[in-house]
Structures are given as structure tokens and as C-alpha cells.
Amino acid sequence: MRPAADRSTGYAIAAPPVTTVEVADTDEVFPVARVYCVGRNYAEHSREMGHDPDREPPFFFMKPADAVVPSGRLPFPAQTQDLHHEVELVVALGDGGSHIPEEHALDHVFGYAVGLDMTRRDLQRAMGDQKKPWEIGKAFDHAAPIGPLNPADKVGHMAKGTISLSVNGEVKQNSDLANMIWSVPEQIAKLSEAFELKAGDIIYSGTPENVGPVVKGDVVLCKIAGLPDMSIRIV
């Protein structure tokens, strides 16, 4: 049955809620427009995925905005037997533009957060083997957990510092933001060549090596130097 129109707004159906992220130490929230993700942005992770880590142009994929969820409890998704963790620095844009010069890219950054690019690895690989798009492995419900956003005018810009992830207290991923193949300013500049970026867009900037599986009951702790820790429990 078709839902009734929301005559108070003119929408044919009730408008979906806006996805938001908490802004640290405030009562404010950040509205999410689009979610971009940078693929294979650490050399060692590129190698473990079976690719040459030479500095080729970066590539991007997307997740739906409502895949962004706060830290806490994360439901184990359907259709997978191989759910993987990928800890990442998340960059939130306060304004956008097209063809943003690299030297001005950081002027567009509102703030930073710790995030997880959760991946149904078995589905991603199956689609890749068939030469089909692999959004089903990346763009599912609850696929983008994120901690509070920390404004850049308080924490500075994140060019280096430890990035790590542990599962049930055992360190799995451990690297440095300085090991990114493409820096945050380069990511923004390159992305703005293909899309007109908007205020509210966020960028998952890539994960270091040693991604791996999690199962129900696991507790995942993510850390980036200079930002608050972020933790989820798989349920």
C-alpha cells in the first residue's frame, strides 16, 4: 500500500531523516550529504589486496549517507560470512566546490573523526571476480560507523600520527597517517575534479594493512592520534 502523502510539506511521502554525526564537546550535529571512500590508499594494504601499490591516480567509491552510524552496537549484516574491519580517518567538509586547488583544499575541511569502512569481503570479491560493481560489499546498512567529529580549528589538520585497530584487545591494524599514498589535500583536490563537492560531504580516506574478519561478540577499538577513540561491538 502506498503511504499517505505528507500534505504539510508537499512531499508525496514522509521525508527520510537527515543523517547526522555528533560534533565533539558541543550540542551540535553535522549533517551528512554524501559519503566518498578512497580505495587502496596505503601501499601495504594495496599489496595485501593483490594490487601494485605504485602511485596511480586515486579511485573512489561511495556509501549511502544512511550507512553512517554512531559508535556502539553494530548488527552483523546479512548475506556475508566474512565481515571485515577497516579503520580510517574520516574527513568532513564544511564547504565544497569544483577543481579545488590542492594548496587550498584544507580550507574546506570542517573536521575529522575516526571511522570504520565495514566490508562484506566475500561479496565484494565475488562481484570483483565477475567484473561487476561491488557496492553490495561496501554500501550496506550500518557499513560506516563513525565517532564524533572534531573541528579542525581545535585539533588541527591530520597529516601524520598513529592509526590503529584492535579486536578484543589484540592489535590488528597499526600504521601512521603519513603512510597514505594520497594525502587529504590531494584526495580533496582529485575528488573535486570529478564531482562538485558539497558542504556535508565526508571522505573515508583509506585503511592501512591487516584488515580482517570480525564475528558476533567482537569488540573493535579504533584509535587515531589526536582524536577520541571509537569502539563498536558486533551483535
- Residue spans of the domains in the chain: they are 20-234
Mean pLDDT is lowest, of 2-6, 40-44, 95-99, for 2-6
Contact 90, 110 (CB under 8 A): no
Share the mean pLDDT of the chain. Answer: 93
Kindly tell me if the per-residue pLDDT of 185 is higher than 70: yes
Mean pLDDT is lowest, of 37-46, 103-112, 191-200, for 37-46
Cell 573523526 -> residue: 113
Check residue 43 and give its pLDDT.
74
Q: How confident is the model at residue 47 (pLDDT cuts 50, 70, 90)?
A: low
Q: What gap in Å lies between CA 64 and CA 172, rounded to an integer?
A: 27
What's the pTM value of the predicted model, to 2 decimals? 0.93
Check residue 195 and give its pLDDT.
97
Kindly tell me if the per-residue pLDDT of 59 is higher than 70: yes
C-alpha cell at 184: 587529504
Q: Residue 92 is inside which H or E element, if any?
A: strand 87-93
Q: Residue 194 is inside which H or E element, if any?
A: helix 184-194
Between 33 and 2, the more confident residue is: 33
Q: How confident is the model at residue 139 (pLDDT cuts 50, 70, 90)?
A: very high
Q: How confident is the model at residue 75 (pLDDT cuts 50, 70, 90)?
A: very high
Q: Return the bridge partners of 134, or none.
A: none
How crowded is the C-beta side of 78, counted as CA atoms within 13 Å? Answer: 3
> Which whole number is the average pLDDT over 43-68?
77
Q: What gap in Å lies between CA 228 and CA 131, rounded to an integer?
A: 39
Contact 62, 34 (CB under 8 A): yes
CA nearest 98: which of 33, 192, 188, 34?
192
CA nearest 162: which of 72, 231, 223, 74?
223
Check residue 42 and give its pLDDT.
86
CATH 3.40.50.300 fits 20-234, yes or no: no
Kindly tell me if the per-residue pLDDT of 48 is higher than 90: no
> Which whole number is the average pLDDT over 81-86?
98
What percent of the residues of the chain are helix, what percent strand, and what percent coil, each to the nearest 5? 20, 35, 45
